[in-house]
Chains A and B, each alone.
Chain A
Amino acid sequence: MLLPLILNGLIVGALYGVVAMSFVLIYKASQVVNFAQGEFLLVGAWVCWWFLTDWQMPFWMGFLFTLAFMTCFGIILQVVVLRPLIGEPVISVIMATVGLSIFFQALMKWIFGVFAKPFPPIFSAQSVDILGLQVQPVYLLSLGISLFIMAGFGWFFTASKHGLAMRATAFDQQVAQSLGISVPKVFAMSWAISAVVSAVAGVVVGVVNGVSSALSFYGIKVFPAVILGGLDSVVGAVLGGLVIGVLENVAQYVDAEWLHWGNMYAIAPFYALVIILMIKPYGLFGTRNIERV
């Protein structure tokens, strides 16, 4: 009984890890805590759904169009909303992303309605048999995509020119600038990548569970993951995501078997977050720059 739960936890956790990575990407590059990360998933999934149903596009085409749309979306958000706030106190920046979050949540509800809508079926097979467990192909696809994105991030930050420029900017903006890196471009790029990657996660979740405003809750679930891993660590984000994914499933199992408190699936990660903040606020891999008083 526990094994499928853990497997499920790992699959969902890998998705948390992907979203957490894109969250960390924005935080590392531009020091913005993005409270609207969940809305990236939401917008991406709805836009893809719209391409697939209203425009009757094949999946790959709708998916590519979604990615293109999300690239523009991320850049526009950064340029229009976040760029004027550079140099403002951290509270203002947090508030701006919070404002973005409720704005896009309401906008999506307005355009697409409040009810969950399923994606058109993509796979013909109902389930695949792995080690005696019946697994839906979309879950496998989800895991595959997550791993692919993680590997892509790994390559991007260690080998590609833009990734290195981004790391340099995260390390020291002035030095990066004096080396000829355009910091505004790096900021815009980090938002674009983050939006695209989150949208991929959003589409995957949408294919599995249908698209609804519940998607934006992933943006909240990301916080336990990134705090556990350390706010500025990509590896930590992946690990934190996996741990939180397993944790919520195990918590639900423990609750159903012994405790009977109810709602532990949704709330257990938050208790975990409070404990982490109390004991180890900079997380497992984060830079220890938080000033304690």
Chain B
Amino acid sequence: MDAMTPAGDYRTSYRADMTIMATRNSRIALAVGIVLACAAPFVLDGYMLDLLINIGIFGIAALGLNILVGFTGQISIGHAAFFGFGAFASAYFHEHGVAVALAIPLAGIATAVVGLVFGLPAARLKGLYLAIATLVAQYILEDFFARAQWFTGGVAGRMTEPPSLAGWVAGRPESYFYVVLVAVIVMFGAAANLMRTRDGRALIAVRDHYLSAEMMGINLAYYRMLSFGIASFYAGIAGALYAHYRLFVSVEAFTILFSIQFLGMVIIGGLGSIAGSLMGAAFMVLLPEVVEGLANLLTGSAIDRALRLGASISFLREMAIGAAIIVFLVFEPDGLARRWRLIKAYWKLYPYSH
């Protein structure tokens, strides 16, 4: 079920078995997808591009969280704090004379270092203790943001600039879209690649059965820390991309709700699925839009007046996020990635579905 490959597709070498894209069709589909994405700024309007950019940025952060939660079996309820740290770090580096193109990866590395510091307990704790530890990390980092004026600009927040390369400034959604697209391709490619290396398989082994993993010579503490570091790195990169897109980073933006949203993306997309992270991000970005659209449909009607829909749209969005997480956990714990596999399998096997 996991890998639905067409009949006759026998893998005759380890190399073939390890490829990321198993069939020619999937390779073609990926290439077509990237070409279509490149064409998007010419077709779509600013609003749609804004959504796509958000999906890309949050998708990168969600992928980092998925490496931690879905692939290593650790949990983090403080991902938004690391995302925020990356945003502030990149803005800070840029203000001190580092070009944006360099500040973004630097911010990723800085966030990874911070993540490793908070990952120290992660090397020893697991499950619910880790959940509580990362929840605390969220509050401590939020407090740090409000306190560290030199780093975050304090209550006023921090302004920053869009990336520019040899006179070409990516200040508008049409141009910034390409920046995000490149980042998405690089980061998702890196993650897909990571999962077929020794380190990636070690992470999965830690998730599946940590005792067996340890018996096979996997250093548990090292790999738990490593996965925390990778997750923070991805969060930092995504945060930096976010900062140079919004051009303003506010201290209040990176709340616990944001962290929960990231966890929601991972769960809805599918734990342990790389493509699922992007699907989950898309779901989480589009869900508030859909809720708002539904509320707008009812504007002026009796239901709207009775329930004060228009004035409380932000609460409705939060409720939708919470409800989506619960519904997926109860009815579709493997997320959209599994649903997508089932749809593909249905068409592949049609009309003999059994």
Contact = CB atoms under 8 A, between A and B. Distances in A.
A121 to B, nearest CB: 29
A33 B136 contact: no
A34 B129 CA distance: 13
Contact of A110 (B126, B131, B221, B312): B312
Q: Is the interface of B mostly helix, strand, loop or mixed?
A: helix
Interface stretch (B12-20, B183-191, B193-201, B316-324): B316-324
Most buried by A among B128, B325, B333: B128
Interface stretch (A84-92, A127-135, A145-153, A165-173): A84-92
B312 A278 contact: no
Contacts of B322: 99-104, 106
Contacts of B120: 278
Contacts of B267: 92, 95
A100 B69 CA distance: 20
Contacts of A49: none
Contacts of A84: 330
Interface stretch (A154-162, A192-200, A267-275): A267-275
B132 A293 contact: no
B121 interface: yes
B133 A277 contact: yes
A99 B264 contact: yes
Interface string B113-152: 0000000110111111101110110011001001100000
A102 B121 CA distance: 26
B140 A100 contact: no
Contact of B333 (A92, A106, A278): A92
B140 A271 contact: yes
A88 B124 CA distance: 23
B302 to A, nearest CB: 18
A281 B136 contact: no
A95 B147 contact: no
Given A227-B132, A273-B136, A110 B319 contact: yes
B325 A99 contact: yes
B329 A263 contact: no
Contact of A223 (B124, B132, B147, B257): B132
B315 A270 contact: no
A271 B143 CA distance: 11
Given A96-B326, A263-B146, A33 B128 contact: yes
Taking residues whose C-beta sits less than 8 angstroms from the other chain, chain A's interface range is: 35 or more
B131 A102 contact: no
Contact of A95 (B139, B220, B308, B325): B325
B69 A105 contact: no
B330 A81 contact: yes
Contact of B329 (A33, A90, A99, A291): A99
A185 interface: no
Nearest to B323: A103
A267 B139 CA distance: 8
A285 B222 CA distance: 30
Contacts of A291: 126
Nearest to A282: B129
A265 B301 CA distance: 46
A283 B277 CA distance: 36
Contact of B315 (A35, A85, A110): A110
30 contacts: A88-B329, A91-B73, A91-B75, A92-B329, A96-B326, A96-B329, A96-B330, A99-B325, A100-B326, A101-B322, A102-B318, A102-B321, A102-B322, A105-B318, A106-B317, A106-B318, A107-B315, A110-B308, A110-B312, A220-B135, A220-B139, A223-B135, A262-B147, A266-B143, A267-B143, A274-B133, A274-B136, A277-B132, A293-B123, A293-B124
Given A98-B263, A99-B260, 4 more contacts: A95-B264, A98-B77, A99-B325, A103-B318
Interface of A: 33, 35, 81, 84-85, 88-92, 94-96, 98-107, 109-110, 220, 223, 227, 231, 261-263, 266-267, 270-271, 273-274, 277-278, 281, 290-293
